[in-house]
Each structure stands twice: as C-alpha cells, then as structure tokens.
Chain A
Amino acid sequence: MAALVLPAALLVLVLLVAPMAMLFRISLNQYSPTELMIEALSPENYLRAIADPYYQDVLATTMGVALSCTLIALLLGFPAAYWLARMESRWKSLAVILTLFPLLVGNVVRAAGWMALLGRDGAINAGLMGLGLIAEPLTLLYTRGAVILGIVAVVAPYMILTLASVIEAIPRQVEEAAANLGAGPLTGFRRVVLPLALPGVAAGSVLVFILCMNAYATPVLLGGPQFKMMAPAVYDQFVKGTNWPFGAALAFVLLVVTLTLTIAGSALLARRSRRG
C-alpha cells in the first residue's frame, strides 16, 4: 500500500524539496554586485531580514492583511456555505459552479477589473461624482482596503467550499433536535452547528491564510508602489535588486512565519473543537 504514495512523494521530492534545499543554500551566501553571490555559510541575511525595521513592517503588514482577509472571508463565507450545504433544490450544482466561477479568472485579470472600478476615473468615483455626492474623486485604489477587498474576492470560494463540505456532513436532525429542545436559531448555531463545523473552519482558515500570506499579484496591482507585502518584497530582491541570497532568506522567513502561525492556529482550533 505504501507504494501508492511513492509517485507523489517522488514528485514532491524533485519539484519541491530539491529547489527549496538549493534556495536555502543560496540564503547563506553573500551578495556581490559584480558576481551575483559569493559562496559563504553565514546567517547574515537572516539577521538582516529579522532585524531591519523595514522588513519587520512588511511582515507585520502581511500578517495583518492575511488575518483580516481570513476573518472577513470566514464571516462572509459561513452564511453562504451554510446556505449552499443545506440547499436541496436542483440548482445546487449550479450554485457550486457559480461559487467556483471567480476562480476561472486569473488573479491579474481580476485585479485589472478592480482597478477599473476603484481608480480615480473608475466606475465608483464616476458614479459618486455623477450623483453629486462627492466633488473630488476618492482615493480607493492603491490602499490597504483595496488590497484586502481584492484578496478576499480571490480566497472566498476556497473558504465557502471547504466550509460547505463540512456543514453538509452535519446531520440536519441534530439541528432539529436542538430546536425541539427549545434552542432558538442563534443558540442552535452557537452551541450545535458552529462546534461541529469547527474542523471546517480550521481547514478553510488555514487554506485561506496561507494563500493570503503569499499573495503577490493583488498587492502589487491594487496596493501600488507604496504598499509592500512579503511575496512582492521577495520578488523585488530576486528580480529587481538581483540580491538572490537576501531574497532567499526573506522567502524562508515568510515560510517559517506562515508555518508557525498556521500550526498554532490549527492547534488552537483543534483544542476548542475537542472541548466543544
């Protein structure tokens, strides 16, 4: 039976572990403007990545945006997932396809759409000015809000579908029993549905949080030049600064922080779900 895992394991080994090992080796090298990098075994790049207030800020922004997006996606996604899971009409499969529909459009194309909506001459400003509600166009594009909006739109389908599959597995009778015993809809949700859906909340949040931490196209296009998240910062080091060692170190810092927060978050939710 173990042999069944072999092809996938080999693929992961070749395509993920090997390049990661190479990247880690590069992160210990020294940057040189004339020779790209000098072989070394130095923690210097990591120390700089951790100690530099600028990158602390970038990391804090990244975590802040990722947490906000995960929370918003969860709050917006739960009711939609519940509705989808409990749907009995023949339109259900259509509703699932519609939920997936945004994923058919690439992130860059989607961001271009947001730019057309949020820009200074965009549809929203034009509409508000046309109605005489504002005299000067509002700054909507190139803000943190625009980035959060854009990312939530990207990740919401992942959250909804993960939650829906877990909610679907909660027997309807359990909810009916709660109602029979006098629980109102809110109590029923809080004491029965939510605790049983916690594994879905955990899975959906982890998935979405990881996607948010690594977001690239949306922050670059909707955040503008003054807004920095980690993935664009890593790209800048590799491609614009040609500082591969430092870029590699930043990539590992991002990986370790994402991994730590993900593990801590899931452990917390797992404990709650056991208790509940």
Chain B
Amino acid sequence: MITRRGALATSLLAGLPGLSAAQSAQVVVGTWGGDYGDLLAGNIDKPLLAPRGTEVIQDVGPQDPRKTKLIAERSARRGSMDVCCLSDVDMFSMAQQGVFEPIDEARVPNLAKAIPSLKRPYSIPHIYSAKVILYNPAKVTAAPQSYADLWDPKYRGKVGLVDILHLQNMETAAIVAGGDHHDYEPGKRKLMELRSLDVKVYPSNEALAAALKSEEVWLSLMWLARGFMWKKSGIPVEAAVPSEGATSICFEMAVPKNARNREGGLGYLNAALDAKAQGAFADRMGYAPTVTDATLPPDLARQISLTPEQQAKLRTPDYEYIARNQVALIDFWNKEFKR
C-alpha cells in the first residue's frame, strides 16, 4: 500500500540522484583570465561541454595564488577546483606534493593523440611554445643566432628580462656558460656578467612588452607565442630560435585528488585536447597544439612552430632539478642578481 509518507520518502529518494547529477554537471576550472580564459570559454566550455549539460565555472586568478590554494586545500576532503591549469614547472612541483589524480588514459581518450614527449603521468599538455630570443629588427640588424648574443657588449643596457621568468633566464645563462639545463650553477656567474652590462628587469610580460614597444630595450628572452602575439599587436619584434636549442614551455591541466567532480574534471581534460579547440589557441595566442591531429593554416604554422631541426633540438626543462633547487635559485635571483 502506498501511504502519503511513503510516497514522499520515495520521491525524496528519487530526487536525490537528480540532485547529485545536477552537482556533478558542474566543473570548476582554476585558470588564468584574459585571452586564455576567454578561449577556454569560447572553444571548450560552450561548444563542447555545454551541449552535454556540463556547466563550467572559471575560477580566474594568477598562477601563484592558485598553487597556494592547492597546497592550502591539500588536506581538505573536498577542494575548490575540479581542473587546475598550471605551467609545466609548477605542475611538476605540485604533483610532487601529491595533490593530483593520476591520469588514466582510458578516461581521457584524446590523450592518445598528444605529442608523446609532452605527456606526464599527472597532467595533460594543453598548449606549448618555446623560449626564443625576441629582437627589434630595426635596431638589431643581424638576427641573433645564439643566446650568447644577449651578452654582446654592443647591446649594453638594451637587453630586458622578465622577473617572473627567473628560472628560464637562469637556465639560458647556464647554457651560455657552457653548462646545460640540468645544472644552473654555471649560469650564476654569467648572469652577474649580464648585470654588469646593465640588463633591465621588468616585473611582468606586459611591462616588457611596453619596453620593447618604446624601444627602451631591443632584445629579450620570451616565448615564441608571446612574440607572435606582440608582433600582431604592432610591437617591433622578430623571433630568433637560438642555435643552442630552444627550451619548451607547456601549459598543462590536472585534476586535484580532492576535486568534487573528478569525472567531470577528466572530461574537461579530454575536451581540452580536442583538435579544433587547440587550433583556436594557436590562432589567437600563438601556442602550438599539443595533439597531432590539429591542423593549422600553413602561414600560422610557420610563425608559431619550430622547423623539424629546431624541434629535434628542443629541450624539456629538468623539472626534478628545478623542484629540488627552486628555493635556492630564487634566492640567488633576488638577493644577488637583482640587488
């Protein structure tokens, strides 16, 4: 017999899965704002996930506070993000703290098409680029060939570096000093040399862009993708891939272990590897696709990707070395180089 109370209980119970389904349809993505956030929304959230009933909420902010949030929430049962976007170096150091769910390729099928050298056990590669030399072709008439050209005394006071890229700057100095990306020690002396050549240090990429535009500096170390974007916006720069081999930068995505919606997070990672979505990031931001099935217009491909020879020389940062030495390296950068 169906009593009123029984019916009520049944309908309540029946309602519960509906309720949890509604919750699981929401994915919170911790990401950068600006172009990146807009492109995520326009090419992944709306066309790929919304039709499946997944509502994406962006938790927009800079990378460093996002890392701090991950650490602060580490011991919490439920975290605030389902997907976390970080650059490769930070993704590795956070993965070492054990905050991410291991990536199961069966649950992220698009990962099968990703460039193998960019795959990590704790994250998916989303977009990537390479560290190159940007120069002002009107002032630097012969295109730089090597990172060492930044140390040429004729460019005294005309080389600008970005503060937040301190690890990348130190790696370059180590390579110029004859070392490699597995040990930055030799680079310290070389950086102090650059300092005595009146190198300028800018607080952000945007500040460097302004300095390149006003021709306050003529040469810098920057991502090829940024060079592409800046050139498009009228800043007088060309990119030169150094003969020593460029170093890659990959922006990655991972799912925290304590995500409220782990399945949704993994689904998001899969959508991010969609070839069409990747093409949009290439077109607007100049970052190369991380999947092999994304095809770019030839002119765009020429501007944002490396030649096969350059690609063969592409270095991956030594994440392990950086994670172990990061604190000491930042100390050197702040206390000695910038002083």
Contacts and interface: CB of A to CB of B under 8 A. Distances in A.
Contacts of B155: none
B203 interface: yes
Interface residues of B, number: 27
A-B residue pairs, 5 tightest by C-beta: A225-B163, A54-B335, A239-B64, A225-B203, A225-B201
Contacts of B330: 236, 240-241
A260 interface: no
A237 to B, nearest CB: 9
B244 to A, nearest CB: 26
B214 A120 contact: yes
A117 to B, nearest CB: 15
Interface string A250-269: 00000000000000000000
Contacts of A31: 327
Interface string B57-73: 00000001101100100
A34 B325 CA distance: 11
Interface string B310-334: 0000000000000110110011001
Contact of A225 (B202, B327, B331): B202
Contact of B203 (A121, A224, A238, A242): A224
B326 to A, nearest CB: 7
B216 A36 contact: no
A31 B214 CA distance: 42
B338 interface: yes
30 contacts: A31-B327, A33-B96, A33-B326, A33-B327, A34-B97, A34-B323, A36-B71, A36-B97, A54-B335, A119-B210, A120-B211, A120-B216, A121-B210, A121-B214, A220-B203, A221-B203, A224-B201, A224-B203, A225-B163, A225-B201, A225-B202, A225-B338, A226-B201, A228-B334, A236-B330, A239-B64, A240-B64, A241-B327, A242-B68, A244-B71
Interface in B242-282: none
Interface of A: 31, 33-36, 54, 119-121, 220-221, 224-226, 228, 236, 238-244
B338 A226 contact: yes
B5 interface: no
A157 B334 CA distance: 34
A239 B65 contact: yes
B169 to A, nearest CB: 12
A119 B68 CA distance: 32
Contact of B97 (A35, A120, A220, A221): A35
B97 to A, nearest CB: 6
B68 A238 contact: yes
Contacts of A244: 71
A56 to B, nearest CB: 11
Most chain A CB atoms below 10 A, which of B74, B97, B202: B97
Given A220-B203, A239-B65, A242-B68, A33 B93 contact: yes
A246 to B, nearest CB: 9
Contacts of B4: none
Contact of A243 (B74, B327, B338): B327
Contacts of B52: none
Contacts of A228: 334
Contacts of A120: 211, 214, 216
B339 interface: yes
B96 to A, nearest CB: 5
